[in-house]
Chains A and B, each alone.
Chain A
Amino acid sequence: MRLLIVDDEPLVRRSLERIFAKEGFEVQSAEDGIAGLKMWQEIGPDVVLLDVLMPGLTGPQVLQKIYPHKAKVILMSAYSGEYELESLRHLGVIDFISKPFGDVFEVVKRIKERIRNP
């Protein structure tokens, strides 16, 4: 399963890459919205972990540009409740996770669960 991480924070990318690789995902990551959009178009991931506020393009802007797509998208943001999940569902968003994560393993567990039952 191909997983794309789009986040401007290197430590977040690094930790998520590491943990999802361990879980058997084929992980790739991009450091901002523009690079993320490009990579999304190139690899056609199954799952995208998308940060909201980023330089270049924001997460929702990336979504607008890439749509239609086949990926299951999970939004991540330090601004809790910034976006109404329901209003983005039609763009393929299946969940929203606020930063900072309480326990990263719990987050991974939750994401895997959501992928199975979107």
Chain B
Amino acid sequence: MVSPSLSIPVYSLGLSQQALDQLKSNVHMLTEQEVDSFLRSTNHLLIIVHGKELANKILLKSKSLKQEKYFRLIIIDQKFSIEDITSYSNSGLVFKIVCARNKFTELDLFIHQAMEKLLEIQEGEDIITKVRVQNKVLSEINENLEDLVRQRTENLETKKLEVESKIRRIKDLIKFIKSLSQVNNFDDLILLLRQEFIKFHKIRSPLLIYVLGGSEMRCISFQGPQIIDQVIASHDTDIFTSDSGHVREILANALERPIGPLTDLKFTFANNRGILLFEHSFSEEELNLFKQILEERAEPLRVAFERLALKWHAHLISRQWSSTFDLLKDPILIVDRNYRVVRSNKNFSRHQGEQCFSLFAGRSTPCVGCPLPRAVENQAGEKGKINILEKTFEVEAFPIVVDGIDESSNLIVHYKDITHSVNLQGQLVQSEKMAAIGMLAGNIAHELNNPLTGIKSLTQILLSEVPASSPAHSDLLEVQGAADRCEQIIKNLLEFSTNENKDLVEIALRDVVHKTIPLVKTALHYFNTKILLTDVDDSIKVDPQLLQQVIFNLINNACQAMGGSGSIMIESEASDKSVILRIRDTGPGVPMDLQDEIFAPFFTTKEEGQGTGLGLSVSRSIIEKFGGKLYLNKEIHEGSEFVIELPRSKNAPTDR
């Protein structure tokens, strides 16, 4: 049980000190004046009132107090009516009524009971109060939490929107950069920019002004859908550094229209300058947003500008190089290892095809003497000589070495026409050779003529002494004939080597042939020889000895080409204007590759020591000296046929 003295204060009103002294309980005495303030107490208290009148006053007074009442009354009097009891009971403030006069024996008990009751109420109220307070706290916490959640949700929503917008912008930016990387020229760039910023209705189509290297200042703009690329007649490069006011002025002059407010993006790369301009009617806020988007694209745009500037320079350099190469007279080209032409200058292509030999020489196989295979094998520059028709080229092939790659795949090939110098050299060598031959021939002539004089003279003497019927006589005649031939050969050799310009004489071709055949009788001995000479007049004007030398050469060549066996056909014909001699053999023929080369000085297919290579070139020059032609008949595919064509003598009858 709770001790009443500990928590609930007890007061008395109207009780004598004597009566209070009888009580065990701790009771404080109140005066009537003090009562008012106690009635307003917000703590529980118990007041013992002696006398109904006092009690009624208190109850009446309390009615006017508009607050919770925490006091409770024990009313002591001698007598209580039913109305009193009902009234007290209804008030809810009267704990007990005690009927007594002077003795308050049970009052302590009542006080104690009342205190217990009040304590219970107080505890209940305390609990309720606590519960209320806690509820209030809880509801506050709840409210705070709800606020927090709401705020968080709102934040998240905002953040989500921000992130989405950021992603969208990044996606747009990536798309823009991708498109930018495919831009190949400034026109493409400006088109892309117009497309990119088309959603901003308050800007006009963009403009780009640029100067590349030392070239003129250009402006790319739009006229409707059309792109206009024009030179701006201003060398005022301040445009790339000054404020928009000055830029507006220059633009207005260039485009011949007033220019609105501008926002720009400037590019500088080495000695290249550019400025991208947007004419707009933005508010300040809109302009800031636009600038932000433009700023995001600034770096990729700078990179693109650099790339296009580099490309322009590379193109310029490439154009300079290609025009330089085209200006060169010598054919120059780049080929791969398989002779396929990668690039070439203007003077290279003469025929159709993919490979250098078909394009340049009209051949189906690589040129004889081409240095390309050696250059590929040795990975070093190589030289070679090739003959195409009547021309000789010195060919140099250089592998293109790229750092870090061991073997080059392409080569530079340079052709130099050395026909003239080769001819000069050939002539020089030939004249030197002829001089040497001349000296040699002089010595040989002397050395041979001496014994030949003895042989001839002795033969003639013996012939005069031996009877004509004797077999020795015919033998001696043979010796004499051979000695005569030797004498003639020596004479020819002297004439040939001294290159004397003798007067040409008129003679029948058949006579020259008939005179020559005996000189090659030994060589012809191994072959089936067929001689078909025309019956009609075949007079020509030549030096017979020299023509004999040529025919001798051609027959000798034919014999050597055939090796062991075969046939030789010597055939002549005469037309109104010319006389033709054909010497055909059944040898292996002249390979296609060599057909143009065989007439070059010092060309030979013979083993060393078998020929000087002067034969065909000298023969040709002899025939040309007579106004004729010496050539290989290219239409013959089995064996070979050399043709001598000489002008028919003017004195010869024209009818056949």
Partner-B contacts on A (CB < 8 A) = 7-16, 18-19, 51, 53, 78-79, 99-101, 103-105, 107
Interface size on B, residues (CB 8 A): 18
Closest A-B pairs by Cβ, 8 of them = A11-B454, A78-B449, A15-B457, A104-B457, A100-B453, A15-B458, A9-B450, A12-B454
Answer whether residue B405 sits at the interface, using C-beta atoms and an 8 A cutoff. no
Binary interface encoding of chain B residues 453-480 relative to chain A, with 1 for a CB under 8 A from any of its CBs, else 0: 1111110110010000000000000000
Binary interface encoding of chain B residues 330-371 relative to chain A, with 1 for a CB under 8 A from any of its CBs, else 0: 000000000000000000000000000000000000000000
**28 A-B pairs (CB sep. < 8 Å):** A7-B450, A8-B450, A10-B454, A11-B453, A11-B457, A12-B457, A13-B454, A15-B457, A15-B458, A15-B460, A19-B457, A51-B450, A78-B449, A78-B450, A78-B453, A79-B442, A79-B446, A99-B449, A99-B450, A100-B449, A100-B452, A100-B483, A101-B453, A101-B456, A103-B460, A104-B460, A105-B460, A105-B464
Q: How far is the CA of A100 from the CA of B451 in the complex (A)?
A: 9
CB distance from A111 to the nearest CB of B (A): 13
CB distance from B373 to the nearest CB of A (A): 55
User: Which single residue of chain B is at the shortest CB-CB distance from A18?
Assistant: B461
With A53-B446, A78-B445 as known contacts, state yes or no: A14 contacts B453, CB within 8 Å. no
Answer whether residue B487 sits at the interface, using C-beta atoms and an 8 A cutoff. yes
Is the contact region of chain B dominated by helix, strand, or loop, or is it mixed? helix
User: Which single residue of chain A is at the shortest CB-CB distance from B450?
Assistant: A9
With A100-B487, A104-B456 as known contacts, state yes or no: A15 contacts B450, CB within 8 Å. no
CB distance from B177 to the nearest CB of A (A): 97
Contact B457 A9 (CB under 8 A): no
With A15-B461, A19-B457 as known contacts, state yes or no: A9 contacts B451, CB within 8 Å. yes
Binary interface encoding of chain B residues 432-458 relative to chain A, with 1 for a CB under 8 A from any of its CBs, else 0: 000000000010011001111111111
Contact B453 A9 (CB under 8 A): yes
Q: Which residues of A contact B455 (CB under 8 A)?
A: 11
Q: How far is the CA of A79 from the CA of B449 in the complex (A)?
A: 9
User: Which single residue of chain A is at the shortest CB-CB distance from B442?
Assistant: A79
Q: Which residues of A contact B450 (CB under 8 A)?
A: 7-9, 12, 51, 78, 99
Q: How far is the CA of A114 from the CA of B450 in the complex (A)?
A: 23
Q: How far is the CA of A19 from the CA of B458 in the complex (A)?
A: 9
Q: How far is the CA of A51 from the CA of B445 in the complex (A)?
A: 15
Q: How far is the CA of A107 from the CA of B449 in the complex (A)?
A: 16
Q: How far is the CA of A11 from the CA of B458 in the complex (A)?
A: 7
Q: Which residues of B contact A101 (CB under 8 A)?
A: 453, 456-457
Q: Which residues of A contact B461 (CB under 8 A)?
A: 15, 18-19, 104
Q: How far is the CA of A105 from the CA of B464 in the complex (A)?
A: 10
Which single member of A12, A53, A79 contacts B453 (CB below 8 Å)? A12
Q: Which residues of B contact A78 (CB under 8 A)?
A: 445-446, 449-450, 453
CB distance from A31 to the nearest CB of B (A): 12
B205-227, CB < 8 A from A: none
* Interface-central residue, B449, B453, B460, by most chain A CB under 10 Å: B453
CB distance from B301 to the nearest CB of A (A): 96
Q: Which residues of B contact A14 (CB under 8 A)?
A: 454, 458
CB distance from B494 to the nearest CB of A (A): 10
Q: How far is the CA of A9 from the CA of B446 in the complex (A)?
A: 11
User: Which single residue of chain B is at the shortest CB-CB distance from A79?
Assistant: B446
Q: Which residues of B contact A10 (CB under 8 A)?
A: 454
Q: Which residues of A contact B483 (CB under 8 A)?
A: 100
Apart from the given pairs A9-B450, A99-B452, 5 other A-B contacts in the complex at a CB distance below 8 Å: A8-B450, A11-B451, A14-B458, A78-B445, A99-B449
Q: How far is the CA of A9 from the CA of B449 in the complex (A)?
A: 10
Q: How far is the CA of A103 from the CA of B480 in the complex (A)?
A: 11
Q: How far is the CA of A14 from the CA of B452 in the complex (A)?
A: 13
Q: Which residues of A contact B464 (CB under 8 A)?
A: 105
CB distance from B436 to the nearest CB of A (A): 18
User: Which single residue of chain A is at the shortest CB-CB distance from B487?
Assistant: A100
Q: How far is the CA of A107 from the CA of B454 in the complex (A)?
A: 13
User: Which single residue of chain B is at the shortest CB-CB distance from A54?
Assistant: B450
CB distance from A29 to the nearest CB of B (A): 12
Q: Which residues of A contact B454 (CB under 8 A)?
A: 9-15
Q: How far is the CA of A12 from the CA of B483 in the complex (A)?
A: 14
Q: Which residues of A contact B487 (CB under 8 A)?
A: 100
Q: How far is the CA of A98 from the CA of B487 in the complex (A)?
A: 13
Contact B457 A16 (CB under 8 A): yes
Q: Which residues of A contact B442 (CB under 8 A)?
A: 79
Q: How far is the CA of A59 from the CA of B577 in the complex (A)?
A: 54
Q: Which residues of A contact B460 (CB under 8 A)?
A: 15, 103-105
Q: How far is the CA of A13 from the CA of B487 in the complex (A)?
A: 19
Q: Which residues of B contact A15 (CB under 8 A)?
A: 454, 457-458, 460-461
Q: How far is the CA of A11 from the CA of B462 in the complex (A)?
A: 13
Contact B446 A100 (CB under 8 A): no
CB distance from A27 to the nearest CB of B (A): 13
User: Which single residue of chain A is at the shortest CB-CB distance from B449?
Assistant: A78
Q: Which residues of B contact A107 (CB under 8 A)?
A: 457
Q: Which residues of B contact A53 (CB under 8 A)?
A: 446
Q: How far is the CA of A113 from the CA of B573 in the complex (A)?
A: 51
Q: How far is the CA of A14 from the CA of B455 in the complex (A)?
A: 10
Q: Which residues of B contact A19 (CB under 8 A)?
A: 457, 461
Q: How far is the CA of A15 from the CA of B453 in the complex (A)?
A: 9
Contact B458 A100 (CB under 8 A): no
Q: Which residues of A contact B446 (CB under 8 A)?
A: 53, 78-79
User: Which single residue of chain A is at the shortest CB-CB distance from B490?
Assistant: A100
Q: Which residues of A contact B458 (CB under 8 A)?
A: 11, 14-15, 18
